[in-house]
Structures are given as structure tokens and as C-alpha cells.
Amino acid sequence: MQNLPIFMNLKDRPVLVVGGGTVAARKAELLLLAGAKVTVIAPRVRNEMQRMIEAGRVTWREQSFGPGVVRGFRIVIAATDNDAVNRLVFEECERHAIPVNVADQPELCSFILPSIVERGSITIAVSTGGRSPILARLLKARLETLIPAGFGVLADLLGRYRNAVKARFAELDERKHFWERMLDGPLVNLATSGRIVEAEQILERAIQDSAPATHGEVWLIGAGPGDPDLLTLKALRLLQQADVVVYDRLVPEAIINLARREAERIDVGKSMRRHTLPQDEINQLLVDLAKQGKRVARLKGGDPFIFGRGGEEMQAVIAAGLPCLAVPGITAAAGCAASAGIPLTHRDCAQSVRFVTGHTQKDDMGLDWRALVSEGQTLVFYMGLANVARICASLRAHGMRADMPAAVIERGTLPDQRVFSGTLATLPSIVRAEQPRSPSLIVVGEVVGLRERLGFITQPTHTASALFELCAA
Ligand code: SAH
């Protein structure tokens, strides 16, 4: 081991920063985060440091560094642009056996400052032994994506129950098994999602009941519009924990394949005219699987709560007394608009945006057309492809101008995305000629015209995952 990792308690302890420049100020900030009492020694200071001094956050000794200065400090960090001073700081500290770090000079360090990943009371330090700070930063970035933001909250919660668990289970082994069981269950995701009361209930019940029922849980996960790179970190994490994945037709295989290899996969694929499994059977399936103790990832296209019947599934799961989490996804409107170069709102011409269902059998489609044609808004029709002619005709009949820009985005965000733009007058014939497939989204509004004005060029989207596949091939 190049360096021994230790975590030092510097709360209210005196530390010294030598130098008054930008780097010195950054080091001082870090030390302040650890609660240290920071003294800065420098004949002159720059803006950042000046502000810290004026705010009373650090104490300034307006002088040059000299022998004897380091005595009494727990650690010393030097960041001056003078090599001789930096070396002197190092030698002085070594003589007094005080840990010292000279910024960017590993040979003048008796300790190094690692890259840090922080989650509340949890700190993860990464070091390459001074060989490559950039590599350490890269590793840090990887860890940041792996560890849920709420892990600090989870640590605090577990900390609060430590004594109660100790009192309940006398044996170390018993306690270990208890915590392992808890950390393998719904507690983790509830706590990291901020649902502390429910997490506490689970802990309290488990402490009272020595053999608690190992209930599964259901996660309603938005899979986004298709491009796997548009998944949220949380969606990916849960997908990789799931015992079973229940998915819709809209979810591409590349996303389903992100689940664990051993996870069971159940297709409840729905298309407009082909309901493989009726909704109440899907609800029941989710409940049954979770009751068997399984962690169920219910993967839905886009966002689960936007035309996704996520609400009904959630109600069914909660009514069965099982934990249910919803993970938002990028809804088709947001995903398709971004990849087609259509800003959904724009200061000059669209102050609001409406998501509308275009799927209905009724003559007037059950929509409030008068409200839909009002000025300054963008309309996004989901499930409207089959009704595109009726949609365009109804908008015109209610007063929207015939040359209002309108577009169909087919398989938005996917590598074979196509965008057809025209106007309310021309879109139906364009659709007849080009025959876009499902899923397709219809966007109506001035913002569609911006696409050309912005000079946006539609290209096949080469997502990072597609590139990986290309490279692997
Ligand atoms: N919950 C989903 C919507 C489900 S309704 C969401 O939030 O996106 C299904 C409709 O979504 C489709 O008929 C289509 O209109 C739209 N849609 C979903 N993915 C799409 C995509 N990649 N490209 C275009 N439209 C899409």
C-alpha cells in the first residue's frame, strides 16, 4: 500500500494554509468543510481568500512563512508559487513531525488529499498514490453514479437504530444477520428516496418481530423514450437489483438487457389493439410477484405517470400493503423534442406546453379543442398517429391557422428516428405518404418552425451504447 488511508477528525483543531492564492483558498475551503480552524499565512492574498478573511471564516497572518511558524498546527497545507517557500514548509513540518501537503508536489507531501465522494456522513476517498489525480477524479465520477444520493440519509437512519438493535439482539452474529436482511430489503430504497417514516416502520417492525415476513417490493420505473442513455441513474440501479422485470412493448430490448442476467423477464407488452395482458391482470401479477418476496421492476416507456397507467398499478400495490416506489423517466415529449431540435417552450412563441392523448374512439376525441387552439402554447399528442388527420382538421376547425407548423416524430431518440415536419394543412398527407410507424408523437406549434430556423439537422442518433456495440463488433 502506497499510503495508509485514515480519516482525521479536524473539528475545531488548528490547521495552517501557507499561501493566499486561488489554490490556497480552495484548500482552506476543504479544511473548513471538515470543521477545522484555519489560519492562513501569506504576505498578500487574492480575492477568494480576501473574501474568506473578511467573512471571518479564516484567520490571516499577514507575513511571510518562516521557521517555527508551524508549531501547534495539526496539519499544514502549502500552496504558494515559490518553490523555496514550499520546500521550507515541508522541511519545517518534517522537523516537527506535522503532517504536510504541498499542492501538486507529491515529493513534498507526507500526506495526500484524496478525491472525495460524499454522502452525508459517508465519505469515500480515492487515491492513486499521487500518480494520477485525473484518474482518481475519473474513478470518483464512476462512484458518484453508483452510489445513490440518499445514502447519507440511510447511514443516519441505521445509526439511529444501532442501540435499539444492540439491545434486541445480544449476539454479534444475530445483529449482523439482522442488518444484512434489512439492507437487502425495501428499507434501502425507501430511505434513499426520502421515505423515512416508512423505512422506520420497517425497522421497528423487524426489531419487534424476530422473523419478519420478507416481503418483496415493486418499483414503477420510467424507462425513458427509448435511448438507453436516457435512463436515470436510479432506474439503472434498481434494474440491476430486480429479481423480475415486467415490461411493456415500448421498452427496447437494450434497456431490458440492463437487468441482471438471472432476473426473470415478463413481457406484458401492450400495443393499441393488442392487449396481451389486461390492466387488472398486470396489477395482480405485480402484487403476486412481490408477495412471493420478489423485487419487481415494472419497466414502462417514458414516464410511468404520463399516459402510462402507473397510477393504477401503484394503487393496486399499495392496497395490497406492499412497498411501491416510482422512478420518473424522461417522457416521450421531452425526449423526442430534444432529439428533433424542437424546444417545447420558447420565450417568443410558447409560454406553455400541453401533453394530450390522441387515442380515443369518440368523434370529437373527447378533447376541449377550444382550449387547445389558444395562442402561445405547444401541443404534444401522444398515441395520436392513427388520428393525425382528425387532430389537424379539428384544430383548424376551431380556428388554428392552416400553416401552423406541425411535426410527427417517429421512434424518437432511437437510432432510426425520423422527423416529418409540415403544417396542419400538409401533415396528414405527409403521414399518408411516409407511413411512420408507432411509436410516434405529434407536435403542433410555432416551436416546430424553430427547428429549421435553428438549422437543426436530424442525424441518426449514435448513442453511447450504440457506439459501444459498434466498437465491440
Ligand atoms: N408513458 C409514456 C407514454 C406512453 S403512451 C411516456 O411518458 O412517454 C405511448 C405513446 O407515447 C406512443 O403512442 C407515442 O405517442 C409516445 N411515444 C413513446 N415513446 C416514443 C418515441 N420513442 N417516439 C415517439 N413517440 C413515443
Higher model confidence: residue 442 or residue 250? 442
Q: Which residue has the cell 477568494?
A: 48
Give the atom of ligand 1 at the shortest distance from the alpha carbon of 409. 24
Q: Decide: 215 and 202 in contact? Cβ < 8 Å.
A: no
pLDDT tops 70 at residue 73:
yes
Least confident of 262-276, 302-316, 412-426: 262-276
pLDDT at 462: 44
Determine if ligand 1 sits within 6 Å of the CB of residue 343: no
The superfamily in CATH containing domain 333-454 is: Tetrapyrrole methylase, C-terminal domain (3.30.950.10)
Annotated catalytic residue within 227, 243, 248, 303: 248
pLDDT at 471: 40
Ligand 1, atom 13: closest residue by C-alpha: 383
Note if 37 is an active site residue.
no
Q: Decide: 16 and 69 in contact? Cβ < 8 Å.
A: yes
Determine if ligand 1 sits within 6 Å of the CB of residue 332: yes
Determine if ligand 1 sits within 6 Å of the CB of residue 326: no
Parallel, antiparallel, or unpaired: how do β-strands 440-444 and 405-410 relate?
Answer: antiparallel
Determine if ligand 1 sits within 6 Å of the CB of residue 331: yes
pLDDT tops 90 at residue 339:
yes
Annotated catalytic residue within 27, 234, 243, 270: 270
- 151-209 matches 217-330 in fold: no
For helices 22-33 and 47-54, the axis angle rounded to 10 degrees is: 40
Average pLDDT for residues 342-348, to the nearest whole number? 94
Distance 231 CA to ligand 1 centre (A): 15
Average pLDDT for residues 439-460, to the nearest whole number? 82
Q: Report d(CA 389, CA 400) in Å as an integer.
A: 14
Ligand 1, atom 5: closest residue by C-alpha: 307
Q: What is the DSSP letter of 437?
A: P
Determine if ligand 1 sits within 6 Å of the CB of residue 383: yes
Determine if ligand 1 sits within 6 Å of the CB of residue 417: no
Domain boundaries, the chain: 14-113, 151-209, 217-330, 333-454
From 273, 314, 382, 458, the mutation candidate for ligand 1 (largest count of ligand atoms within 8 A of CB) is: 382
Average pLDDT for residues 457-465, to the nearest whole number? 49
Average pLDDT for residues 121-142, to the nearest whole number? 89
* CB-side neighbour CA atoms (13 Å) of 389: 8
* CB-side neighbour CA atoms (13 Å) of 111: 16
Q: Decide: 152 and 124 in contact? Cβ < 8 Å.
A: no
Phi-psi region of 405 (alpha: psi -120 to 50; beta: other; left: phi over 0): beta
Give the atom of ligand 1 at the shortest distance from the alpha carbon of 442. 15
Mean pLDDT of the chain: 91
pLDDT at 452: 77
pLDDT tops 60 at residue 276:
yes
Give the atom of ligand 1 at the shortest distance from the alpha carbon of 310. 1
**Whole-number Cα distances in Å, 183 to 27, 132, 186, 192:** 36, 35, 8, 12
Which residues, at least 6 apart from 178, have a Cβ–Cβ distance to it below 8 Å? 165, 169, 206
Express each pLDDT in 362-392 by its tens digit.
777 889 999 999 999 999 999 999 999 999 9
Q: Report d(CA 406, CA 379) in Å as an integer.
A: 9
pLDDT tops 50 at residue 310:
yes
- Coil vs helix vs strand at 387: helix
Q: Report d(CA 26, CA 183) in Å as an integer.
A: 37
If you classify domain 217-330 with CATH, what class do you get?
alpha beta
Ligand 1, atom 16: closest residue by C-alpha: 382
Distance 382 CA to ligand 1 centre (A): 6
Q: Report d(CA 310, CA 320) in Å as an integer.
A: 16
Distance 332 CA to ligand 1 centre (A): 5
Q: Predicted confidence band at 176 (pLDDT cuts at 50, 70, 90)?
A: confident
Distance 106 CA to ligand 1 centre (A): 54
234's grid cell: 436510479
Q: Decide: 380 and 355 in contact? Cβ < 8 Å.
A: yes
pLDDT at 171: 87
- Coil vs helix vs strand at 355: strand
Distance 256 CA to ligand 1 centre (A): 17
Q: How many CB atoms lie within 10 A of CB 431?
A: 21
Q: CA nearest 158: which of 179, 133, 132, 189?
A: 179
Determine if ligand 1 sits within 6 Å of the CB of residue 65: no
**What fold characterizes domain 151-209?**
Helicase, Ruva Protein; domain 3 (1.10.8)
Determine if ligand 1 sits within 6 Å of the CB of residue 252: no
Average pLDDT for residues 426-446, to the nearest whole number? 97
Q: How many CB atoms lie within 10 A of CB 413?
A: 24
Determine if ligand 1 sits within 6 Å of the CB of residue 88: no
- Coil vs helix vs strand at 35: coil
pLDDT at 425: 97
Determine if ligand 1 sits within 6 Å of the CB of residue 344: no
Parallel, antiparallel, or unpaired: how do β-strands 217-222 and 122-126 relate?
Answer: unpaired
Average pLDDT for residues 251-260, to the nearest whole number? 94
Average pLDDT for residues 131-139, to the nearest whole number? 88
Least confident of 216-225, 263-272, 293-302: 263-272
User: How much of the chain exceeds pLDDT 70, in percent?
Assistant: 93
pLDDT tops 90 at residue 214:
no
Parallel, antiparallel, or unpaired: how do β-strands 377-382 and 352-357 relate?
Answer: parallel
pLDDT at 466: 44
Note if 176 is an active site residue.
no
Express each pLDDT in 9-57 by its tens digit.
999 999 999 999 999 999 999 999 999 999 999 999 999 999 999 999 9
Identify the CATH assignment for 14-113 out of 3.40.50.720, 3.90.340.10, 3.40.50.150, 3.40.50.1000.
3.40.50.720
pLDDT tops 60 at residue 238:
yes
Give the atom of ligand 1 at the shortest distance from the alpha carbon of 438. 13
- Coil vs helix vs strand at 40: strand
Dihedral of alpha carbons 102, 108, 109, 115, sign:
positive
Least confident of 354-363, 385-394, 426-435: 354-363
pLDDT at 366: 87
Backbone angles phi and psi of 45, in degrees to 5: -130, 155
User: E-strand spans in 228-337?
Assistant: 244-247, 264-267, 295-300, 324-327
User: How much of the chain exceeds pLDDT 90, in percent?
Assistant: 76
Ligand 1, atom 25: closest residue by C-alpha: 440
